[in-house]
Amino acid sequence: MKKTLTVRDIVIAGVLGAVAILLGVTRLGYIPVPTAAGNATIMHIPAIIGGIMQGPIVGLIVGAIFGISSFLNATVPLFKDPMVAILPRLFIGVVAWLVYVGIRRKSEYLAVGAAAFIGTLTNTVLVLTMAVVRNYMTAGVAWTVGLTNGIPEAIVGTIVTLAVVLAWKQLGKSQKSKISKDL
């Protein structure tokens, strides 16, 4: 593991954090699903992309930014609880990175897709577990929400992440700063 964050790590984490905040405040990050939790979300995608692109620390930081912004913007009591809003979100990017690194050698496409899918499920499962632990839901309600929200979330998350990461890898060849490598 690297000892310090590079300029690239800092900037990518900041920019993806901005996207996560923006998706939250414009409500664009919510997919309306008629369940108890109200909405499925795609706001965790920046955390996954951060994890895939720049490693676990950036994933963790973007997850923390997403968690704090969802805590501050929450309109549901469930997410006004820091234990539900912030803590589970720290793991999204880290898990996505682990999955990505594990599968990368076999196939880049498969690795990105699997990382997005499992990263999303991490969010769903951990948030719902905390919701049950902190007595906002019963286990039965949590299962229903998990199935009705989690699966569409995972599918949308996979599509968006694949599109973004693969486009970025193409773009990266021509546009990336070349100074980074020398520093």
Partner 1 sequence: MSNEFEISRNITIGQYVPTGSFIHRLDPRIKLLSFVVLVLAIALNTSYLGNAVGLVLSLFLFWASKIPISYGLSGVKPAIPFIIILALLQLLFQGQLFSGGTVYVDYGFILITSESIRLVIVSAVRFIEIIFLSSVLTLSTSTTEMTHSIQSLLSPLKKIHFPVHEISLITTISIRFVPTFAIEMEKMMKAQASRGADFGTGGWWRIIQRTKEMFPIIIPLFNIALSRAEDLILAMESRCYTPGGDRTSYSVYKAAGKDYLILVVGLLFAVLLLFYPFPF
Secondary structure of residue 10 in the 3-state scheme? helix
Compute the distance between CA of residue 16 and CA of residue 170 in angstroms, rounded to an integer. Answer: 19
Position 156 contacts partner 1 (CB under 8 A): yes
Position 115 contacts partner 1 (CB under 8 A): no
Residue 182: burial class (beta carbons within 10 Å; 0-12, 13-18, 19+): exposed
Position 105 contacts partner 1 (CB under 8 A): no
Tokens of 133: 């632990």
58 contacts 85 by C-beta, under 8 angstroms: no
Per CB under 8 A, the segment of 95-103, 105-113, 119-127, 132-140 that binds partner 1 is: 132-140
Position 102 contacts partner 1 (CB under 8 A): no
88 contacts 123 by C-beta, under 8 angstroms: yes
Position 87 contacts partner 1 (CB under 8 A): no
Give the binding site for partner 1 (CB under 8 A): 3-19, 21-23, 25-26, 28, 31-34, 36, 38, 42, 45-46, 49, 61, 65, 72, 74-78, 80-83, 135-138, 140-141, 152, 156, 159-160, 163-164, 167-168, 171, 175-177, 179-180, 183
